[in-house]
A = this chain, B = another copy of it.
Amino acid sequence: MLPEKTIERLSQYRRLLLANKQKGKENIFSHEIAVQLHLTSVQVRRDIMLIGYSGTQRKGYNIDLLIEKISSILDDEKGLNSIIIGMGNLGKAISTYFYGKRNKIDIVAAFDIDIKKTGRLISGVWCYHTSDLETIIKEKQISLAILALAPEAAQDITDRIIFAGVKGILNFTSVPLNVLPNVYLENYDMVTSIEKVAYFVKENHLQNR
């Protein structure tokens, strides 16, 4: 299995490659990728080595083929269905953002407990009541869930979706979730992010004295 950090970068390589392809470019050197993403060319080459793709010395990497190779690693062939739970400000922002983007990861349903939000389309995604959670997860073969709901309900809902078959969670609530060992959990904590930036801003000030 590939290192976590390599996976993250592969996602970024692919986006960059698609942008370069758009501009009509056919081949790209490791140092070009590196400059555009602010990495080192060594790291780029090493990652590409790890996934078993090869370029040529004179032309670098063929953009189409590299995109294809990365996609064969990141994407599930048959696609992967996901849901958003919690259609508040953040949930809506996310579903609006993803709506219409063609992608192997489809957001096929949303859930909320607030009946003012349920039973209708919200930014292109049907919003169900959480009471339908288990039914829909099984029906639509959901394997990934994005949590953007009120923190109080996060663990409860997590237990339910895992029991219903969800295998990966992207958690935006600040709640440290308990999940079964075979469920992949990725947390993003915005407050921590900001506090970290603030800390390094402060430290930098100290350094410059």
Chain A contact residues, CB within 8 Å of chain B: 1, 4, 7-8, 11-12, 15, 36-38, 73-76, 80, 82, 88-90, 92-94, 96-97, 104-105, 143-144, 146, 167-170, 174, 176, 178, 182, 184, 186, 188-205, 208
Please pick, from B4, B104, B143, the residue contacting A196 in the complex, using a CB distance under 8 A: B4
- Residues of B with C-beta under 8 A to A196: 4, 7-8, 11, 186
Q: Is the CB of B204 within 8 A of A167?
A: yes
**Nearest chain B CB to A181 CB, angstrom units:** 10
Q: Is the CB of B199 within 8 A of A7?
A: yes
Q: Is the CB of A178 within 8 A of B38?
A: yes
- Residues of B with C-beta under 8 A to A192: 8, 11-12
Q: Is the CB of B199 within 8 A of A182?
A: no
Q: Is the CB of A168 within 8 A of B191?
A: no
Q: Is the CB of B194 within 8 A of A144?
A: yes
Q: Is the CB of A74 within 8 A of B12?
A: no
Q: Is the CB of A168 within 8 A of B200?
A: yes
Other contacts beyond A12-B189, A93-B93: 11, CB < 8 A:
A7-B196, A8-B196, A89-B89, A89-B97, A92-B93, A94-B190, A104-B198, A168-B200, A169-B197, A182-B208, A186-B193
Q: Is the CB of B90 within 8 A of A203?
A: no
A11 to B195, CA, bound (A): 7
- Residues of B with C-beta under 8 A to A36: 176
A118 to B76, CA, bound (A): 43
